[in-house]
Amino acid sequence: MAVLALVIAAATVVVLIVLSRRAGQRLQQFERLPMQYDFSGHPTWYAPRRIALGFTPVLAGVTLTGTAAIPLFAGEPMTGRGAAIFLGVVVLSAVFWLATHAGQLWMQDRWARKQG
């Protein structure tokens, strides 16, 4: 169970890194990228490109790995329904991070197209 959860976490982080690297190539002409937007879609603050593209993969790596490693530190092995629920939490967390990062990259691409 823990091994599968760690594999899901690692695969998710690899996908996030690949997405960031591709975005970095597309957005290399910008020193800073938007990190947050107001309700009308306008950026409210910016970060250096490497930080903007690396923030989500790092944060996802820390949280997903920490969550996936929980069974390694539990006193008893997870089995049955508890194991299924745990794996579901890891999968949903991975999907959340992928969707969040894809949304952020989409907003950054949209902003970049408006810049000319």
Instruction: Name the pairing type of β-strands 32-37 and 43-48.
Output: antiparallel
Return d(Cα 96, Cα 102) in angstroms, integer. Answer: 10
* pLDDT of the chain, 116 residues: tens digit per residue: 789 999 999 999 999 999 999 999 999 999 999 999 999 989 999 999 999 999 999 999 999 999 999 988 887 777 888 889 999 999 999 999 999 999 999 999 999 999 97
- Stated pTM of the model: 0.91
- Count CB-CB contacts under 10 A for residue 47: 15
